[in-house]
Structure 1
Amino acid sequence: MRRRRLRSAVTAGAAAFVCGVTATVAGNAASATNDSLAPSGIPVRTNGSRITDSTVVDQRNLRLQVYSAAMGRTIEIDVQRPADNSAPRPTLYLLAGAGGGQDTATWQQRTTALQFLADKNVNVVQPVGGAWTYYTDWRANDPVLGVNKWQTFLTEELPPLIDRALGTNGTNAIAGLSMSGTSVLQLPIAAPGRYRAVAAYSGCAQISDPVGYNFVRTVVTTGGGNTANMYGPQGDPMWAANDPYLNAEGLRGLELFLSTGTGIPGQWDTLDGPYTLPGVGGWANQLTVGGALEAASNYCTHNMQERLNELGIPATFDFQPVGTHSWGYWEDALVASWPVLAKGLGLPA
């Protein structure tokens, strides 16, 4: 009965909330300086993929244009450099939610996450793109979302370019929320050794389960995509093959952090609060649909805890007694996860 209620709530109302969280794409951001940055050793090409342009945003931030051979297009990459760049530093890949960082629902615009990370000796790398795709490799081209080989891009194409261009030490961690809270568990399983730490905020790892499948389908269809082009129809073996719950053995040896609320309104769910969707309508949407989405995430994450316990894989779980599917709680979760990420990155907490 609990599963049926969750499935109904997610399917019936999530689309409206996802649209609210990933608001309409904003106008072009203010132009950064046109000065081109060419860090020492910047690569021209790696297996067909290459950095085609780099721009200095300010003394700490770069914007790279990276051509993905797998997808046949150029992806924007935002980079925040370490506090101290006198030695090679590790890299944190920070993924966006359903909007792929192409809208106003981003870590920069909705949180102070980058300010929190600004005094850390870590490169923070944010791909801008991948809306509604789950950052995975799709089995077929989608008429709306196009060619999607994000797993290949994030695990094979981008990291070598980042390592060489920025002079990193080759140690990586990855973190993501909502949609990418699933992706950040899939990617390390698909690419053993690429990441040493993972933080998943309000994700759903159990995607071949009916609740998880409907969660994914709702997100993808909100963006106009078709999950049949992603992993095939429900029940296709590709869903199980890409399910972090079923393939959790691949997470062994990683520093793991998973968090979720319950869907019950909490401190960041007040009318016109700093992390609340605007207006009475936005507030109501956050409480109802955002509550249902977080309840589904809570269900998935508790199941993942049981699975990891069965396998004897240690992980840090942060189950909050309240909280909807919204930015205030994700910012809190990122801060709470830093000791876990830092350990994997070889940094002080």
Structure 2
Amino acid sequence: MKHARTLREAVLAVLLAAVCTLTPLATASAHADGAYLDRIEREGPHELAVYVYSAAMDRVIEQDVLVPESGSAGRPIAYLLFGAVRAEDPVDWPTMTDLLRFAPGTGVDVVIPHGGAGTYYTDWQRDDPVLGRNRWATYLTTELPPIMDAVLHSSGRNAIVGLSMSSTSALALAEAAPQLYEAVGAFSGCAETSSPLGQAYVYLTTHVRGGGDVENMWGPFGSPAWAANDAFLHADRLRGHTLYLAAGSGLPDGHDTLTDPRIDGNAPLLLTQLTEGGVIEAATSECTRHLAARLAELGIPADYRPHPGTHSWGYWQDDLHAFWPAMAAAIGA
């Protein structure tokens, strides 16, 4: 058994080394849109850091990449987006969930772009003094996928998953590029961006928490871009996707305790999770219920899972596990 594990790890090391050797070739030739692979760094047994130059944003973007145990060739890709975390916060999919432990055994490549906090992963109308130049929709639908397909020799089939802020983004990106993503997971978000509730959520996320000016994103409240990016209004474009929608009630449940490993006895952190996290999750629950009802009206199947709990990582890990089998089946893993 130990010999088999050692052999498997040796084979994986060779595969990762082979991927890393692609860097000079890819760097030398830019894509038609001007984006190119900058470099690849190996971070762990199944982990790569892949750096891609975005011509649309004129900067290099880092991606965490998890490679399956069986190698990446011919595998589908799941793109996982961050929520509204600050750059200095060590809070992300790999650190706050068991993704590193379970994903490599599932036959799915995982790509996690960095740097989109507070941006809604959309194309902003103007550069922002705090958040800079943001053309995330262009990057995620046009620049990044062909480069990742080439680096990983993927099957070309993709899923996208978002939580909190990026739940809205995952739905909107799937509507904007329906042929790119076959499965969409939306955890604890608000698809609405043009309703009063949705606009308040965007303002809280982008301006209050992220420090950006929402008018630089979509113009003044009520401008056409707010409705154009409203995934609820354009829910008919989600037809044909495998959809998973989840949100907590805002009321405490199993992960809202001092013994939860993410709380680890930190009483002030738990209080924040119960108060701030409870209020935010109650709002996203209302938004998610609206979207589920709209999809039902349109006859579009969706796995809608309301549950107890606050706006916190324990529940998002639960949602990731609940969505993963259907997601993997939809993208051919």
Shift of 1:193: 0.2
Equivalent residue for 2:192? Answer: 206
Shift of 1:243: 0.3
Tell me which amino acid in the other structure corresponds to 1:79: V
Query: Is 1:109–2:92 an aligned residue pair?
Result: no
User: Could you say what secondary structure the match of 1:339 adopts?
Assistant: helix
- Please say if residues 23 and 38 of structure 2, whose CA atoms lie closer than 8 Å, have aligned partners that are also in contact: no
Tell me which amino acid in the other structure corresponds to 1:62: L
| 2:280 corresponds to which of 281, 293, 298 | 293
Give matches, 1:68-83, under 5 Å.
68-83=54-69
Give me the whole-angstrom Cα distance separating, in 1, the residues matched to 2:215 and 2:130. 13
Tell me which amino acid in the other structure corresponds to 2:94: Q
| Runs of 5+ consecutive residues of structure 1 not aligned to the other structure | 1-33
- Please say if residues 80 and 161 of structure 2, whose CA atoms lie closer than 8 Å, have aligned partners that are also in contact: yes
Change (3 A) 1:338 1:102: farther
Equivalent residue for 1:165? Answer: 151
User: Could you say what secondary structure the match of 2:181 adopts?
Assistant: coil
Q: Which has the higher contact order (CA 8 A, sep 6+)?
A: 1
Change (3 A) 1:311 1:346: same
Shift of 1:36: 9.0
Shift of 1:58: 2.6
Equivalent residue for 2:30? Answer: 45
Shift of 1:39: 3.7
Tell me which amino acid in the other structure corresponds to 2:271: A
Equivalent residue for 1:246? Answer: 233
Give me the whole-angstrom Cα distance separating, in 2, the residues matched to 1:162 and 1:86. 11
- Please say if residues 100 and 130 of structure 1, whose CA atoms lie closer than 8 Å, have aligned partners that are also in contact: no
Give matches, 1:262-341, under 5 Å.
262-271=249-258, 273-276=260-263, 279-320=266-307, 322-341=308-327
TM norm structure 1: 0.86
Equivalent residue for 2:137? Answer: 151
User: Could you say what secondary structure the match of 1:57 adopts?
Assistant: strand
Q: Provide, for residues 134-167 of structure 1, a one-character-per-residue CA deviation record: whole Å limited to 9, x for no partner.
A: 1111111111101000010000000000001110
Tell me which amino acid in the other structure corresponds to 1:282: L
Change (3 A) 1:158 1:278: farther
Equivalent residue for 1:85? Answer: 71
Give me the whole-angstrom Cα distance separating, in 2, the residues matched to 1:63 and 1:246. 36
- Please say if residues 68 and 153 of structure 1, whose CA atoms lie closer than 8 Å, have aligned partners that are also in contact: yes
Give me the whole-angstrom Cα distance separating, in 2, the residues matched to 1:317 and 1:213. 23
User: Could you say what secondary structure the match of 2:175 adopts?
Assistant: helix
User: Could you say what secondary structure the match of 1:151 adopts?
Assistant: helix
Equivalent residue for 1:118? Answer: 104
Shift of 1:82: 1.7
Give me the whole-angstrom Cα distance separating, in 1, the residues matched to 2:130 and 2:234. 30
TM norm structure 2: 0.90
Shift of 1:295: 0.4
| 1:219 corresponds to which of 190, 205, 217 | 205
Give me the whole-angstrom Cα distance separating, in 1, the residues matched to 2:87 and 2:109. 18
Change (3 A) 1:92 1:205: same
User: Could you say what secondary structure the match of 2:150 adopts?
Assistant: helix
Query: Is 1:131–2:117 an aligned residue pair?
Result: yes
- Please say if residues 91 and 122 of structure 1, whose CA atoms lie closer than 8 Å, have aligned partners that are also in contact: yes
| Runs of 5+ consecutive residues of structure 2 not aligned to the other structure | 1-16
Give me the whole-angstrom Cα distance separating, in 2, the residues matched to 1:141 and 1:300. 29
Tell me which amino acid in the other structure corresponds to 2:239: R
Structure number with the higher helix fraction is 2
Q: Provide, for residues 220-242 of structure 1, a one-character-per-residue CA deviation record: whole Å limited to 9, x for no partner.
A: 11111011111111111111100
Percent identity (aligned):
47
Tell me which amino acid in the other structure corresponds to 1:307: R
Tell me which amino acid in the other structure corresponds to 1:218: L
Change (3 A) 1:305 1:35: closer
